[in-house]
Amino acid sequence: MTDNKNCLPLLGEVDVAIVGGGPAGSACALALRTHRLAYRVALVESSFYHATRLGENVSSALLPLLDYLEIKEHFLAQAAYVESFAVQACWGSHIPLLQHSLRHWSGEGYLLDRRCFDAMLAETFHLRGGKLYLSCRVETILPAEDEEGGYLLHLRHQSGKRFALKARFLVDATGRKANIARRLGATSLHYDALIGVSRFFEINPAAPWSKDIVIESAPEGWWYSAPLPENRLVVTWMTDAGLWREQGQDKLNCWESLLKQAPNSDARLRQTAVAADTTLTVRPAHTHILDQTVGKNWLSVGDAAASFDPLSSLGIGFSMHSGCHAARAIVGYLESGEMNSLHHYRDSVKRQFTEYLPTWQHYYRYETRYLHSPFWRARHEQNSFSQALP
């Protein structure tokens, strides 16, 4: 069978096509496959889960959600994580403040191998009968021309082959770029230009080292370091995109010089690391929300809908919760034809984002030592956190 207009082979017709197989897209796909078996669901992911993925710290408050998705036991057995019990924050002073997660109701946290975690979610969806299209990108989105409505997607596989896929409902789970929602007319409201520049290290398992997460502010941003499975340590420099661009050509050298301004993070690395990657992984980490998170026959989930500063460690939890909530909203919409459930979902995303903004502001304003620097000055200015919400 082909898509008549373009003569592309038609992969099939589904109720819901989800574009992006990160935690948000896979959680939405799994929720539909696990709790609405009759639904035909496709997950389209541009990668093959080979490349490095960033963002690893989740609280154990995620476990009930994994339970709902019937994946908790598998996650715990797979052990692609390190348990973590404390955060050392050198923020406002060089002296570390220790915060034990055991004091919180949710108990310990987990530091994930994100590549394994994301691949495990997508694979489980596939094993439960979902259609998983890896290494595929959406080239074109056309309105379907029959009575049912929905969309006709043109997909391009990495090999160059092109296919069509028909879907009654479309989900944007492409992360901060919100690639699909923006093509459907939504606009992203940016609150800052934060990026993360990460480097991975091998640590000496015989040396005494702590499993704590270390956060340390510095003149032009802040550092984050955390242990990962298989004796690895990720060290990330969080700064503004413009400031990083202004650094010299030799970015690796710049990264190392900047680390020297953060004595605790620098000492941790010198005491524990035995080998280092020579590549830096740069990822956007800005705070944003879409002016429209839902529309007729589509919605956005996770970072595509709204994204949070990694300082908050909200990203993965929010993404997976929004994926599950979205699954229920989609079912409500497809079964009633009414927008109510989509509007309820939209309002919930907006509420969570609105609650986050003052806490985010509070954390940055707690650091007052570097007000001469553009990074911190921007975060202390009156209007920097108060862009009009959609």
Ligand X SMILES: Cc1cc2nc3c(=O)[nH]c(=O)nc-3n(C[C@H](O)[C@H](O)[C@H](O)COP(=O)(O)OP(=O)(O)OC[C@H]3O[C@@H](n4cnc5c(N)ncnc54)[C@H](O)[C@@H]3O)c2cc1C
Smallest distance, ligand X to C-beta of residue 337, A: 28
CB of 274 to ligand X, least distance (A): 23
CB of 71 to ligand X, least distance (A): 15
Helix (H) or strand (E) holding 43: strand 41-44
Residue 126 neighbours by CB distance under 10 Å: 18
The CA-atom distances, in angstroms, between 202 and each of 170, 231, 277, 288, 328 are: 41, 6, 8, 33, 42
DSSP 123-179: HHHHHTT-EEETTEEEEEEEE--STT--EEEEEEETTS-EEEEEEEEEEE--GGG-H
CA 176 vs CA 101, 218, 308, 319, 359: distances in Å: 28, 25, 10, 11, 21
Minimal distance, residue 120 CB to ligand X, in Å: 13
Nearer to ligand X, 20 or 227 (CB): 20
| Between 150 and 323, CB nearer to ligand X | 323
Name the minimum Å distance from CB 182 to ligand X: 11
Distance CA 236, CA 227 (A): 12
CB of 323 to ligand X, least distance (A): 8
Q: Is 95 or 294 the residue whose CB approaches ligand X more closely?
A: 294
CB of 331 to ligand X, least distance (A): 20
Q: Among residues 170 and 314, whose Cβ is nearest to ligand X? A: 314
Interface residues toward ligand X, by CB under 6 A: 19-25, 44-47, 54-58, 137-138, 173-175, 179, 196, 198, 236, 283, 285, 302-304, 310, 313-317, 319
7 to 25, 159, 194: CA distances (angstroms):
29, 18, 43
Residue 1 or 105: which CB sits closer to ligand X?
A: 105
Please identify, using beta-carbon distances, which residue of 159 and 383 lies nearer to ligand X.
159
Given the complex with ligand X, which of 44 and 152 has the nearer CB atom?
44
Query: CA angle, corner 274, sides to 273 and 280, nearest 5?
Result: 65
Q: How far is the CB of 225 from ligand X (least distance, A)?
A: 11
Please give the Cα distance from 371 to 46 (Å, whole number): 41
Which of 167, 168, 181, 126 shows the shortest CA–CA distance to 10?
Answer: 167
229 vs 369, beta carbon nearer ligand X: 229
Spatial separation of the C-alpha atoms in residues 248 and 190, rounded to whole Å: 26
* Closest by CA position to 180, among listed 25, 284, 333, 69: 25
Residue with tokens 């202390």: 380
